[in-house]
Amino acid sequence: MIDFIIGVTLMNAMPHLVLGIWKGRMFSVFGFGNKQNIAYGFLCLVISIVLYVYQYGLDEIFTNKLYFGSLCILLIYFVTGHLWYKLFNKIEK
């Protein structure tokens, strides 16, 4: 059961971070809005990491390629998301 919660919270972080950065409206625990979605995305991410470390240990994050890959994509997007938003959300005149 804990593995299910680890996966759900990691995957739930992704749409909230993406929509928060791209200024989309999506309901979260903290309400509607960009900052609320980003905050909820981080909360889900932290819950996922804490549960994973509790269940398997810190070293296992790097050896479990599925979890580590998903985590890397999420963190890479968070770091580069504002750049992608600026590049692809230009209004054509």
Residues facing residue 31 across a β-bridge = 28
Position 26 scores a pLDDT of 82
Give pLDDT tens digits along the chain (93 positions).
899 999 999 999 998 988 888 888 788 888 888 899 999 999 999 999 999 999 999 989 889 999 999 989 988 988 888 888 888 776 655
Q: Is residue 93 part of a domain?
A: no
Number of domains in the chain: 1
Position 79 scores a pLDDT of 86
CB 23 within 8 A of CB 8: no
The single-letter DSSP state of residue 31 is B
Position 84 scores a pLDDT of 81
Position 27 scores a pLDDT of 85
Distance linking the first and last C-alpha atoms of the chain: 51
**Containing domain of residue 28, as a range?**
2-88
Q: Is residue 61 part of a domain?
A: yes
Q: Is residue 49 part of a domain?
A: yes
Contacts of 69 (CB under 8 A, 6+ apart): none
